[in-house]
């Protein structure tokens, strides 16, 4: 059983438990549920930098990345730095995140927020909306085509943007459908955890132009971004590069400034 299978098995249990405690109706009555969402796809389309900056305390492959900073400070700094959006990890067991992190980020900033989560159930999309997300992530590696279709269509009915993540050509082929806004290529091999932007480059020509192309993971230099832009990428999800520093916001400021020059 690889790490992804483990996470998904745990997620099924977690969602079942949550459903038994907080009914969907309660989520729909939350103060944020009727909020007008901000489109990350539009923000990326109109940006020259295209940075989606992440808040991530730890990961299965790296253990602790940064437990010290507060999500509000990081969110505010990312927004000030000029990030197009922020990715907030809400998985607790493997990444040390929570829905509370999403809520605190939402209370602090206006920019689009992505709920970074292993989504397997419509209930999690209601949660995303109730806690202030603008965008949800669907991971092709853990969903079949029918699930991708029903989850992405449900997300669109809630006015949430959909970023679909693929790791290889098979995943890309089964995933292309009109209910997606952005197609993300994860440069990390989920089985070996090795990272290379070559996969973003090789898949770029097969992603239709109707979708905003996003490259995810292992992007730590300005050169890497300039290189990927030539392949049509408009969005760059930066996970650990900022978070592993003492001050993620300051690191983002320097990085985005350098990118503009």
Which listed residue (11, 14, 39, 54) is catalytic? 54
173 is a catalytic site residue = no
Catalytic residue from among 14, 59, 116, 152: 116
Catalytic residue among 11, 14, 39, 56: 56
Q: Is 42 among the residues known to form the active site?
A: no
d(CA 195, CA 219): 9
56 is catalytic: yes
Contact 115, 88 (CB under 8 A): yes
What is d(CA 124, CA 122) in angstroms, rounded to the nearest whole number?
5
At 3, give phi and psi (nearest 5°).
-60, -40
Residue of 87, 186, 187, 200 marked catalytic: 186
Single out the catalytic residue among 39, 217, 240, 251: 217
Catalytic residue among 14, 117, 127, 165: 165
Instruction: Answer for the pair 255, 242: CB distance below 8 angstroms, yes or no.
Output: yes
Catalytic residue flag (residue 216): yes
> Is residue 213 annotated as part of the catalytic site, yes or no?
no
Q: Which of 216, 234, 240, 251 is catalytic?
A: 216
User: What residues are labeled active site?
Assistant: 54, 56, 116, 165, 186, 216-217
């Amino acid at each position: 059983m690889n790490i992804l299978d483990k996470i998904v098995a745990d997620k099924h249990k977690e969602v079942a438990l949550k459903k038994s405690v907080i009914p969907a109706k309660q989520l729909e009555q939350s103060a944020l549920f009727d909020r007008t969402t901000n489109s990350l796809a539009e923000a990326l389309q109109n940006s020259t930098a295209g940075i989606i900056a992440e808040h991530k305390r730890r990961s299965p492959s790296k253990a602790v990345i940064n437990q010290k900073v507060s999500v509000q400070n990081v969110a505010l700094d990312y927004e000030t730095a000029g990030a197009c959006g922020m990715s907030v990890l809400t998985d607790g067991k493997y990444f040390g995140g929570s829905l509370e992190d999403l809520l605190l980020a939402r209370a602090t900033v206006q920019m689009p927020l992505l709920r970074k989560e292993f989504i397997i159930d419509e209930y999690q999309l209601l949660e995303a909306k109730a806690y202030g997300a603008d965008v949800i992530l669907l991971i092709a590696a853990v969903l079949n085509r029918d699930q991708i279709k029903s989850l992405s269509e449900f997300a669109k009915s809630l006015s949430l943007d959909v970023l679909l993540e693929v790791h290889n050509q098979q995943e890309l082929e089964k995933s292309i459908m009109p209910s997606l806004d952005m197609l993300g290529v994860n440069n990390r091999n989920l089985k070996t955890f090795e990272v290379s932007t070559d996969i973003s480059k090789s898949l770029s020509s097969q992603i239709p132009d109707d979708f905003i192309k996003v490259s995810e993971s292992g992007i730590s230099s300005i050169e890497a971004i300039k290189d990927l832009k030539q392949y049509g990428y408009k969005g760059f999800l930066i996970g650990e590069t900022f978070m592993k520093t003492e001050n993620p916001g300051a690191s983002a400021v320097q990085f985005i400034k350098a990118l503009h020059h």
